């Protein structure tokens, strides 16, 4: 029985080693852009290529990954866009920080930390908890625009 286990483990190891040699992946660290050098041109794509999201080696034509889907831009009406200007977001961030709701840097950017802080504030005020900047939120924060 013990000998059978050793043979089984040996076969598994050999299968793993064989599968590793059959793949086109190669060693190498990626840079800040997600690509890396392939000086021996193992991939056949030249001396530099990408492995985004586990896809096979590829190039980025015009800086765009062929495997990424373009993000759709959500259109907002003019009545809601005024709440997301840099100056309004800064006022909201400043007020939330003063009240003890951490929203990161007061930089005028509506990011995840700001949204999370807004949600916490809305919950504490028993408002609709959606993380959005709207007239109700501004009223509860005593912000006029």
Angle at 114 between CA 112 and CA 119, to 5 degrees: 95
What are the sequence ranges of the domains in the chain?
34-72, 81-140
Higher-confidence position of 100 and 7 = 100
Per residue in 119-144, pLDDT (tens digit) is 999 999 999 999 999 999 999 999 99
Amino acid 69: pLDDT: 66
Q: Is the pLDDT of residue 97 over 90?
A: yes
Cα-Cα-Cα-Cα dihedral of 103, 104, 108, 110, to 10°?
-60
pLDDT of 93 reads 94
Q: What is the pLDDT of residues 60-95, one digit of tens each?
A: 777 777 777 665 555 555 445 788 898 999 999 999
| Second CATH level (architecture) for the domain 81-140 | Orthogonal Bundle (1.10)
What is the pTM assigned to this prediction?
0.47
Write down the pLDDT at residue 24: 46
pLDDT digits (tens, 9 = 90+) for 1-30: 777 787 878 887 777 676 554 444 555 566
């Amino acid at each position: 029985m013990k000998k059978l286990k050793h043979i089984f483990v040996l076969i598994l190891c050999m299968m793993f080693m064989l599968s590793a040699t059959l793949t086109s992946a190669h060693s190498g660290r990626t840079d800040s852009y997600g690509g890396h050098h392939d000086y021996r041109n193992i991939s056949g794509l030249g001396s530099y290529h990408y492995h985004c999201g586990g896809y096979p080696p590829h190039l980025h034509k015009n800086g765009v990954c062929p495997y990424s889907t373009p993000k759709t831009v959500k259109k907002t009406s003019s009545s809601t866009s005024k709440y997301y200007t840099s100056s309004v977001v800064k006022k909201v961030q400043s007020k939330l920080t003063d009240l003890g709701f951490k929203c990161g840097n007061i930089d005028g950017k509506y990011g995840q930390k700001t949204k999370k802080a807004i949600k916490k504030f809305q919950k504490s005020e028993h408002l609709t908890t959606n993380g959005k900047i709207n007239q109700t939120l501004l009223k509860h924060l005593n912000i006029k625009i």
